[in-house]
Amino acid sequence: MAAATPIANPVHETLEWETPSTSKKPGIWSKYNIFNTSSKPQPAVTKDEHPAAELNAPEHRSSDRFVPHWTSRKTCCYALATLLVLVVILALGLGIGLGLHKGKKHKNLPLPNNTGIFTGDLTYYSPGPGYGACGYENSSKDSICAVSHIVWDAVSTSSNPNANPLCGKKIRINRYDAVKGGNSSVDVMVVDRCTGCQPDDLDLSLSVFTDLAEESSGRVVGSWAWLN
């Protein structure tokens, strides 16, 4: 048997698993790397790299956050104008309604422009010493009266009670006195405001009250009307 001829230059082929790796195997903490220590530089995006995208991008305005993209500005203007008109109409209607209600309410009050005869309770109070709402200094012997706060406030024109149009107005009071067997009449001047009186009531000085009824009565019913 002939001997085997030796190979002059034997070639040793390195297997894949024998080749040393040049890349470092990532550690267990690599996925928690919060400092971004990767050696690979990140490509910078410049403005010139995407010119077409910027040209096609929609222009954003500050009003877009309030107006839906499907609503035109013209439609929004029409809607706002309609809303404004409705608010104005509602305000005018409310004002007119309140004015009519107030006028109707005042029409039923015993005001000087009402020429009717009113019937209410007659009481008495002590007007002095001191000044009444009209600023007059009176006593219990004067022919004076105080009208209801409802009537007083209805014609008030300022915060100064001395300027109330009812101050100085004259009233004629009539009452049938069963004891005397006849009618008693007296004229009085408005000088004060009665907080506990109803619209048709009058609060009189003691001298006026005793001309119409006994002092012990305290409260009686009488009729009255404006003289001027």
Q: How confident is the model over 157-200, as pLDDT tens digits?
A: 999 999 999 999 999 999 998 887 889 999 999 999 999 999 99
Based on the fold, state whether residues 138 and 203 are members of the same structural domain.
yes
The answer on 204 and 124 residing in a single domain is: yes
| Average pLDDT taken over every residue of the chain | 78
Residue-level pLDDT at 74:
75
Whether 222 and 126 map to the same domain: the answer is: yes
CATH of the domain at 127: 2.40.40.10
The answer to whether residues 203 and 141 belong to one domain is: yes
- Please tell me whether residues 82 and 178 are part of one structural domain: no
Last residue of a domain, one of 56, 84, 107: 107
Q: Do 146 and 217 lie in a common domain?
A: yes
How far is it, in rounded angstroms, from Cα 203 to Cα 120? 10
Question: Residues 126, 213: one domain?
Answer: yes
pLDDT at 128: 74
At 36 the pLDDT is 53
Characterize 31-65 residue by residue with b for buried, 16 or more Cβ atoms within 10 angstroms of its Cβ, and e for exposed.
eeeeeeeeeeeeeeeeeeeeeeeeeeeeeeeeeee
pLDDT digits (tens, 9 = 90+) for 131-162: 899 999 999 999 999 999 999 999 999 999 99
The whole-number pLDDT of residue 221 equals 96
- Same domain flag for 78 and 102: yes
Total structural domains in the chain? 2
162 vs 62, more confident: 162
Q: Are residues 97 and 123 in the same domain?
A: no
pLDDT score for 44: 56
CA distance 189 to 143: 7
pLDDT at position 55: 52
Task: Give residue 17's pLDDT.
Answer: 54
Position 215 scores a pLDDT of 93
The per-residue pLDDT for range 204-220, each reduced to its tens digit, is 999 999 999 999 999 99
The DSSP code sequence of 155-210 is: S--SS-GGG-TTTT-EEEEEEEETTTTEEEEEEEEEEEEETT--TT-EEEEHHHHH
User: So what's the pLDDT on residue 148?
Assistant: 98
DSSP β-bridge partners for residue 122: 202, 220
What pLDDT does 91 receive? 84
Q: Which two tokens stand for residue 12?
A: 């040793």
Average pLDDT of 56-75? Answer: 60
Q: CA 26 → CA 21, 32, 179, distances in Å?
A: 12, 11, 123
Please state whether the predicted TM-score (pTM) of the whole model is above 0.85: no
49 part of a folded domain: no
Q: Are residues 186 and 133 part of one domain?
A: yes
pLDDT in tens, 13-31: 555 555 555 555 555 655 5
228 Cβ contact list (under 8 Å, min separation 6)? 112, 169, 170
The answer to whether residues 197 and 204 touch, using CB atoms and an 8 Å cutoff, is: no
Q: Please check whether residue 13 lies inside any domain of the structure.
A: no
Domain hosting residue 133, numbered range: 118-226
Higher pLDDT, 72 or 79: 79
| H or E element, residue 102 | helix 73-107
Torsion sign over Cα 196, 201, 205, 206: negative
Token code pair at residue 170: 């004259």
- 140 near 206, Cβ under 8 Å? yes
In a domain, 90, yes or no: yes
